[in-house]
Amino acid sequence: MAKTTVVRTAAKAKALVGAKARTIAKTEPVSAKKKAGTTRNPLAPERIEAILDALRQTYPGVVCALNHENAWELTVATILSAQCTDVRVNLVTPALFKAFPTPKAMAVASLPELEELIRTTGFFRNKAKSIQGAGRVVTETFSGKVPQTMEEILTLPGVARKTGNVVLGSWFGIAVGVVVDTHVMRLSKRLELTKETSPEKVERDLMKILPQDRWIAFSHELIHHGRQVCIARKPRCADCTLERLCNSADKTWSSH
């Protein structure tokens, strides 16, 4: 997809989300402030339920933003997404998977070839070693199929809990945890769902307060929300579904 088309598509998506969010936000309850920047009871079950409901309405049927056709492609794409945007990964993977479509093919590929194909994703030398190594382990240990347990998938080079959760949740529909990327981390703290600063601890906090049947969708919803509305430097609070439920100190607009 051409860069100009990606930009136009993103702008259109933001406009649609903004209009829908303003409508939904009017029906959400107000989250009472304890003081400026904090909520009186941020983990109250009714508040968590309202947050989940608003996200579900805003992003119905949301799916993983990384393009893939099978578990192996999703595994590779997620490894490549470290310190890189999903848009960039989606531009790189078609040629990569055309050249090396299977774990076995990637396992025997030369590192220079892999590096050249994924160069623009950043940290390409380490990532090339990881996807080559992952292909080797999947081929030799798991008969060419991506494993379906967290314990096993963590044995693949380049795979940590985030990647494991993405693959197990998005492809296999297995909710063993919550994907915590930079967007989920940032928004969870803004919404006062956690005070932790490490992905592992944030994930544990989220698993305690979210129903397990929402673990997979919640991450996708929050990631899309972080990209389109709750932007890091200047959140678009006027277009936010969760605006009335959020008392973050860096809000740019407030209806209450």
Question: Which residues form the catalytic set?
Answer: 162, 181
For 202, the token pair is 């944030």
Q: Please, what's the b/e burial string for 62-91 (b: 16 or more CB within 10 A of its CB; e: otherwise)? A: bebbbebeebbbbbbbbbbbbebebbebbb
d(CA 96, CA 156): 19
| 16: Cβ contacts below 8 Å, ≥ 6 apart | none
Residue 111: phi and psi, rounded to 5, are: -60, -40
| 13: Cβ contacts below 8 Å, ≥ 6 apart | 228
